[in-house]
Amino acid sequence: MKAVVLVGGFGTRLRPLTLTTPKQMLPVIDRPMLEHVIAGLSRHGVDEVTLSLGYKEDVFHEAYPDSECAGVALKYAVEPEPLDTAGAVRFAAEAAGIDETFIVINGDVFTDLDVTEVWNRHHEVGAEGTIALTPVDDPSRYGVVPTDEDGRVLGFVEKPPRDEAPTNWINAGTYVLEPSVIRRIETGRKVSIERETFPSLVEAGGLWAAQSDAYWVDAGTPQTYMQIQMDLLDGVRGAAVNGVSSGASIADGAIVERSVVMDGASVAAGAIVRDAIISSGARVSADAVVEGSVVGPNAIVGERARITGMTMIGDGALVEAGTALDGAKLPESD
Ligand code: GDD
Ligand code: MG
């Protein structure tokens, strides 16, 4: 089975972390997000992944120079400029020479979704495209997908105002597509799969859905980037994992609770790290507090500093001793 994994977005909601590292290469516990995602596809028989990308493509090439990731063969389709989600699918499918039924996923989705079931459903109904759906409390951040009782898609509304969403079943960012879908996508301009391709497939009557209530999180915001890691620590998706790397150094007299401390990071005596992510090579100095926040790679939190309320500290940034940051981004970024 072949899959196209979309990883070309700018990750703006995760700035400043994504100013240096593309979203899907941000670490999740001990590996880049992408490796977790591709391992999930591999469990369902995907043996070739084409990465559809542009933004910071060098970071991916450097991480996987042998064109292999989580045991799956990798191809790269580098867009000369961002083509948006459907443009990217067409570009990648053509670059990879895909001419059979294939899978497309958004590279920032963490899920235990049964891709095999979506694949089987697609073939059972003879769909041109099949979208996996997941239920959420607030559908307004997502693509909202009403269906009839057989699962035929009746409409596709990307990010509607909350009170206008026709259902709380949303696009889970996993599709099974026939190659004929590729030919529907115009070339030479940006095309959104959510705003153009899916609505036109609905018109043609060829779009189906497969509902699932398996674990599902879009990790594209600071809150959800934290959540996917806390869920692994808490054992929400199976056995709880230990977030403190054997290559991290935690001083005696430091308190580290429900947190990820990555390779080469250090936490000094008297410091408190709680519900937090300390990325590789970062330093939390003596008597500092980091709570509910992310400290990026090689950043330094000075002595007695207080980092709280989903503060995001970027790659190599310095928080001066004694500073308090609550809900901040350093360096400031929008
Ligand atoms: N190659 C390429 N080129 N990839 C892109 C481009 C592009 O121009 N634009 C976005 N992407 C990639 C992103 O890197 C990401 O992996 C994926 O496409 C989706 O983009 P997001 O920016 O994460 O979109 P979203 O989370 O707001 O919404 C999408 O995902 C939701 C589910 O997680 C939509 O597909 C929604 O309909 C869906 O519900
Ligand atoms: Mg997303």
- pLDDT for 2-26, tens place per residue? 999 999 999 999 999 999 999 999 9
For residue 267, give the 3-state DSSP assignment.
Answer: strand
The number of beta carbons lying within 10 Å of the beta carbon of residue 282 is 27
> Considering only CA atoms, which residue is closest to atom 25 of ligand 1?
142
Q: Residue for token digits 């002595």?
A: 303
Confidence class of residue 279 from pLDDT cuts 50, 70 and 90? very high
**Mean pLDDT, residues 132-136:** 98
pLDDT at res. 333: 80
**Mean pLDDT, residues 309-334:** 95
Q: Give the total residue count for the chain.
A: 334
Q: Please state the separation of Cα 224 from the chain's center in Å.
A: 9
Tell me the CA–centroid distance for residue 326 and ligand 2, in Å.
Answer: 25
| pLDDT at 332 exceeding the cut of 90 | no
pLDDT at res. 16: 97
Q: pLDDT per residue over 175-186, tens digit each?
A: 999 999 999 999
| pLDDT at 269 exceeding the cut of 80 | yes
| pLDDT at 146 exceeding the cut of 90 | yes
List the beta bridge partners of residue 260: 277
Q: Write down all domains in the chain, each with its CATH number in brackets.
A: 2-224 (3.90.550.10), 249-330 (2.160.10.10)
* Type of residue at 126: G
Pick the atom of ligand 1 nearest to 52's CA: 1
Q: Is 93 in the pocket of ligand 1 (CB under 6 A)?
A: no
**Contact indicator for 245, 263 with CB cutoff of 8 Å:** yes
Note the ligand closest to the C-alpha atom of 217: 1
Tell me the CA–centroid distance for residue 73 and ligand 1, in Å.
Answer: 22
**Contact indicator for 190, 84 with CB cutoff of 8 Å:** yes
Confidence class of residue 154 from pLDDT cuts 50, 70 and 90? very high
**Mean pLDDT, residues 153-172:** 95
Note the ligand closest to the C-alpha atom of 138: 1
Give 106's contacts (C-beta < 8 A, 6+ positions apart): 6, 173, 174, 218
Q: DSSP per residue over 150-200, as a string? A: T-BB---EES--GGG-S-SEEEEEEEEE-HHHHHHSPSSS---IIIIIHHH
Give 264's contacts (C-beta < 8 A, 6+ positions apart): 245, 247, 248, 280, 281
3-state secondary structure 21-50: CCHHHCEECCEEHHHHHHHHHHCCCCCEEE
- What's the token pair of residue 329? 């981004």
**Mean pLDDT, residues 153-165:** 94
pLDDT at res. 68: 92
**Contact indicator for 201, 181 with CB cutoff of 8 Å:** yes
pTM as predicted: 0.95
**Contact indicator for 48, 75 with CB cutoff of 8 Å:** yes
